[in-house]
Structure 1
Amino acid sequence: MRLPLVLILIAPLLEIASFIIVGRAIGVLATLGLVVLSAIIGLALLRFQGAGILRRLQTEAQRGVDPGQELVHAALLVVAAFLLIVPGFFGDIVGLLLFIPFVRNMAWRLIKPRIVAQSGFSHGGFQPRRSVDPDVVDLDDNEFRREPNPNSPWRDPRISDS
């Protein structure tokens, strides 16, 4: 939990330092041009890569395969595009790295053990699941019915229960 906080505090300092270093090396106008160019590249890459990810998600959903990896790839692509669009060279480097499939696969291998996905769908269609939470009571359709409550505060008093 402390690592994201440290990154949030250090990231602006890294970006400011990178602006100073690049600005001294190539000049102010060229630095501003690179910032604008990185934003345009981020938008273009998101458009092209995003369409491919959506096609792969649809294909995996039709095959009945767990789309977890493609969902993580899609999320990482959105983060990568955001990092490219936001001004800063350190974020641009991280964003460009996230557009490389190998880097996203490494991130997936790190994230996968921490993800718990539950689905009621299987290859044969929807299969109801029983909850493992002891505080949840699962009822079948014949064990549950809904009737109007005459004492409900949400009941409209103008409507009679005839």
Structure 2
Amino acid sequence: MGHRVRVLAGLWALAEVVVFALVAAWIGVGWTLLAALATTVLGWTLLARQGTRALDELRARAREHRAPGTAATDAGLIAVGGALMVLPGFLGDVVGLLCLLPPTRPLVRAAVGRGLAARLGLSAPVRVRSARVPGATAARPPVRIVEGEVVEGEVVEGPVVEGPVVLDTRPHA
């Protein structure tokens, strides 16, 4: 596996050099260097703004004793996206922007989740719309779904877009 990572890193670096050379041939070396500097500054700015928001969300969840949910993966994606934006290279900038911008982050999260599941040989995840626990009463609701709502319905199989639903069957306080 180490050999595969080195080969992929080498191919990525080669692709970055080729793209940099193509952009320099298209708009000139000076403008290319200015664009690379601008994307680095943009990366630092987005990393500071989005990173602060993600850490605030994680702290709030910890104070409320809630599961981190997607806030933890968002923090990781923001760190990776920021690093890619700060490093020189236009391909890394594009991937970094996808990780940093809130509208595109769920797409990256889903793609990474599917890739990890396939790599680990896991079966397709199951999305739960609702669930019932035998012996539930009005005083003790059937189940509390973290990161979602309990809705009358059925269990639906299929890909998870926002991450797995965590079922918490502890009594509510």
TM-score, L = length of structure 2: 0.59
- SS for the counterpart of 2:104 is helix
Aligned counterparts of 1:103 and 1:78: Cα–Cα separation in 2: 15
Unaligned runs of 5+ in 1: 116-121, 125-162
- SS for the counterpart of 1:101 is coil
Aligned counterparts of 1:65 and 1:81: Cα–Cα separation in 2: 26
1:26-45 matched pairs, under 5 angstroms: 26-45=27-46
Aligned counterparts of 2:65 and 2:108: Cα–Cα separation in 1: 23
Structure with higher strand content: 2
Aligned counterparts of 2:94 and 2:107: Cα–Cα separation in 1: 17
- SS for the counterpart of 2:34 is helix
> Alpha-carbon deviation of 1:106?
3.0
Aligned counterparts of 1:10 and 1:123: Cα–Cα separation in 2: 53
> Alpha-carbon deviation of 1:16?
0.5
Structure with higher helix content: 1
Unaligned runs of 5+ in 2: 121-169
Aligned counterparts of 1:79 and 1:68: Cα–Cα separation in 2: 18
1:4-153 matched pairs, under 5 angstroms: 4-109=5-110, 110-111=112-113
> Alpha-carbon deviation of 1:44?
0.6
- SS for the counterpart of 2:88 is coil
Aligned counterparts of 1:78 and 1:123: Cα–Cα separation in 2: 36
- Residue by residue, what CA displacement relative to the aligned partner does 1:56-86 show, whole Å, maximum 9, x if unpaired? 1111112222114212111111111111111
Instruction: State the superposition RMSD in angstroms.
Output: 2.6
Contact 2:98 2:108 survives alignment (8 Å): no
* Length, aligned pairs only: 118
Contact 2:85 2:92 survives alignment (8 Å): yes
- The aligned residue for residue 150 of structure 1 is none
Aligned counterparts of 1:8 and 1:87: Cα–Cα separation in 2: 14
